[in-house]
């Protein structure tokens, strides 16, 4: 019985593909030029961040040395008044702004001193951890691991940064639910009616500014340098 015909392909046979072949791209590493650009950009950003941190640390330290830091407390309740008196019997002149429908009084910045002290501690600690990360990154290689985690990472800087962010959020929310140290819930407002030529007195109640008031206050402080572009000064 004859065997069935079969084909045989030797190792010398050539297989021709039906289409053009593409060069393999898997595992391709970035060029040295790309790495150099990334490293240069990261170095510039690192230097800028370091300068900002040092500048903030110096400014916070100098700010704590001043004894006359004041904070502005605003409320629509003060719009028509000329002076306000809290339970501490201290009389504060009201700076009215009819364009914004609010009036503001200046108080001693107890909270500002606390924030300046916290900024000094946080920035000093951050710089220490950043120096420690720099030393670690200088001596470890990209393949070094500790308990499965890559050591070629600024772990201490990232961890402390997240902790600081969470603490600032929690403290900010807590402070927004309280009145300043020198402010009481009951306030006496002195008004003067030019049309009647009479002075009147009324008693009102103020409430904490809340998260919305905190955002407005931070925005006013941050954009105050824009002057009339951001906040018209005419009344």
Tokens of 88: 């501490």
**Range 210-224 average pLDDT:** 81
Reported confidence tier of residue 2, pLDDT bands at 50, 70, 90: very low
For helices 32-63 and 110-139, the axis angle rounded to 10 degrees is 150
- Given strand 95-97, what is the order of strands in its sheet? 70-75, 102-108, 95-97
pLDDT of res. 30: 59
Q: Are 79 and 105 in contact (CB under 8 A)?
A: no
Mean pLDDT of all residues in the chain? 77
Q: What is the pTM for the complete model shown?
A: 0.64
For helices 110-139 and 155-176, the axis angle rounded to 10 degrees is 170
* 9-18, 62-71, 101-110, 123-132: least confidently modelled range: 9-18
Tokens of 19: 């289409």
**Range 192-204 average pLDDT:** 76
Measured between alpha carbons, how far is 197 from 61 in angstroms, rounded to an integer? Answer: 49
pLDDT digits (tens, 9 = 90+) for 9-26: 444 444 444 455 555 545
> From the DSSP assignment, how many helices (H) and strands (E) are in the chain?
4, 9
DSSP conformational letter for 15? P
Reported confidence tier of residue 156, pLDDT bands at 50, 70, 90: confident
Reported confidence tier of residue 44, pLDDT bands at 50, 70, 90: very high
**Range 149-174 average pLDDT:** 81
Reported confidence tier of residue 81, pLDDT bands at 50, 70, 90: confident
């Amino acid at each position: 019985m004859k065997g069935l015909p079969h084909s045989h392909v030797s190792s010398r046979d050539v297989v021709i593909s039906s289409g053009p072949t593409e060069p393999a791209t898997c595992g391709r590493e970035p060029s040295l030029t790309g790495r150099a650009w990334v490293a240069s950009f990261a170095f510039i950003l690192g230097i800028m961040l370091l300068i900002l941190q040092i500048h903030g640390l110096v400014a916070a330290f100098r700010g704590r040395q001043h004894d006359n830091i004041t904070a502005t407390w605003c409320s629509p309740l003060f719009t028509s008044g000329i002076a306000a008196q809290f339970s501490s019997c201290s009389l504060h002149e009201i700076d009215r702004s009819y364009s914004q429908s609010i009036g503001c009084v200046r108080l001693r910045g107890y909270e500002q001193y606390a924030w300046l002290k916290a900024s000094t501690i946080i920035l000093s600690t951050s710089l220490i951890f950043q120096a420690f990360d720099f030393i670690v990154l200088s001596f470890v290689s990209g393949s070094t691991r500790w308990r499965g985690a890559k050591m070629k990472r600024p772990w201490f800087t990232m961890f402390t940064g997240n902790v600081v962010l969470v603490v600032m959020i929690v403290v900010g929310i807590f402070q927004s639910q309280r009145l300043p140290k020198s402010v009481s819930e009951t306030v006496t407002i002195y008004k003067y009616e030019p049309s009647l030529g009479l002075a009147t007195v009324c008693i009102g109640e103020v409430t904490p500014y809340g998260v919305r008031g905190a955002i407005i206050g931070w925005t006013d402080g941050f954009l105050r340098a824009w002057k009339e572009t951001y906040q018209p000064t005419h009344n």
